[in-house]
């Protein structure tokens, strides 16, 4: 685990708590090491701070999926697709559509 990089991000976020780019970087690190609960914290805060940050929805949905919080993942992907399409971020929207279809395929 790259604890030094995580500590650096945390220090910077303490100084700039509304910096979504810093939070995104830390969230990605948490995803890489499999700490999905902490990733959820970062990506959910990004969405709260900037509801138009479409990539944050993608990662938040993936983190929820990894935690088997499927209802929350579905809702985030659905919301994120709308945000991404409205912004013209079609690649991110398509990726979330794929993740959403996979979730729906797992329903009993």
Q: Are 59 and 88 in contact (CB under 8 A)?
A: no
Q: Specify the pLDDT at position 8.
A: 94
Reading phi first (left if > 0) and then psi (alpha if -120 to 50, else beta), residue 74 is in alpha
Q: Are 70 and 36 in contact (CB under 8 A)?
A: no
Crossing angle for the helix pair 20-33 and 3-15, to the nearest 10 degrees:
160
Q: Specify the pLDDT at position 72.
A: 97
Q: Specify the pLDDT at position 65.
A: 97
Stretch 59-79: mean pLDDT: 97
DSSP 23-54: HHHHHHHHHHHT-HHHHHHHHHHHHHH-TT-H
Q: For the segment 1-56, what is each residue's pLDDT rounded down to a tens digit?
A: 588 999 999 999 999 999 999 999 999 999 999 999 999 999 999 999 999 999 99
pTM: 0.93
Q: Specify the pLDDT at position 66.
A: 97
Q: Specify the pLDDT at position 108.
A: 60
Domain 3-106 listed as CATH 1.25.40.10: yes
Q: Cα 106–58–107 angle (5° rounding)?
A: 10
Gap between the Cα atoms of 13 and 15, Å rounded: 5
Q: For the segment 95-104, what is each residue's pLDDT rounded down to a tens digit?
A: 999 999 999 8
Residue 79, pLDDT > 90, answer yes
Q: Specify the pLDDT at position 20.
A: 97
Gap between the Cα atoms of 101 and 108, Å rounded: 14
């Amino acid at each position: 685990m790259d604890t030094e990089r995580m500590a650096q991000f945390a220090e910077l976020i303490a100084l700039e708590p509304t910096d979504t780019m810093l939070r995104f970087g830390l969230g990605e690190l948490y995803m890489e090491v499999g700490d999905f609960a902490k990733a959820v914290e970062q990506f959910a805060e990004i969405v709260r701070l900037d509801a138009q940050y479409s990539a944050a929805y993608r990662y938040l949905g993936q983190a929820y999926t990894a935690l088997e919080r499927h209802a929350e993942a579905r809702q985030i992907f659905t919301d994120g697709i709308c945000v991404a399409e409205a912004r013209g971020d079609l690649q991110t929207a398509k990726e979330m559509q794929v993740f959403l279809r996979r979730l729906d395929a797992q329903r009993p």
